[in-house]
Amino acid sequence: MTNGNENAVGCLLGGDPRLHVAQAYRAQKVADAEGEAERFTKLLAEYERNPGVTRERLYIETIETVLASSRKVLLDTDGKGSLIYLPLDKLTEQARRPQRSDANDSSLTIERPAVSNAGSPTGDRRSRGTR
C-alpha cells in the first residue's frame, strides 16, 4: 500500500517509490546513529578526564529532562535528603482563576427556611409537640 507522497517520490526519481522511501529512512537512521556515537565518544573523553563531575552533570541533565513537565517543587534545604514540598502548582492555579468577591459568591450563602410556630398547622412535623 502506498500513499501520495511515495507516488510523488517515485514519479520524480523513477523506479519503485517504496525503495526510495526505504533508502531515505535508512539514511536518516544511519545519520542519527552516527550522531549518537559521536556524542558518546565526546562524553567518554570527558568522563575519563573527570568522572565525578561528568557523572553528576549527567544525573542533573537527566533529572531536568524528566522533571521538565512537572509542576511540583521539592527542596533539599539541609543537604541531608529531607525534602520540602512547595505546592507552587496549586498557587499558580489559584492565581490564574478569576477572583470573585465574597458578596457575589453563592457558595458562601446559607439559606434557612422561614421559622413558623410549632403549634400552627404549617409547623415542622419533626419538632416535638403535637402531631
Listed as ranges, residues in the chain with pLDDT below 70 are 1-13, 99-131
Q: Model-level pTM greater than 0.85?
A: no
Supply the pLDDT for residue 123: 53
Dihedral angle of Cα 104, 106, 110, 115, to the nearest 10 degrees? 80
Measured CA to CA, the distance from residue 49 to residue 38 in angstroms comes to: 17
Give me the pLDDT at residue 118, please.
53
For residue 80, the model assigns a pLDDT of: 74
pLDDT in tens, 7-44: 555 556 677 889 999 999 999 999 999 999 999 999 99
* pLDDT confidence of residue 24: 95
Every domain of the chain and the residues it spans? 7-49
For residue 14, the model assigns a pLDDT of: 73
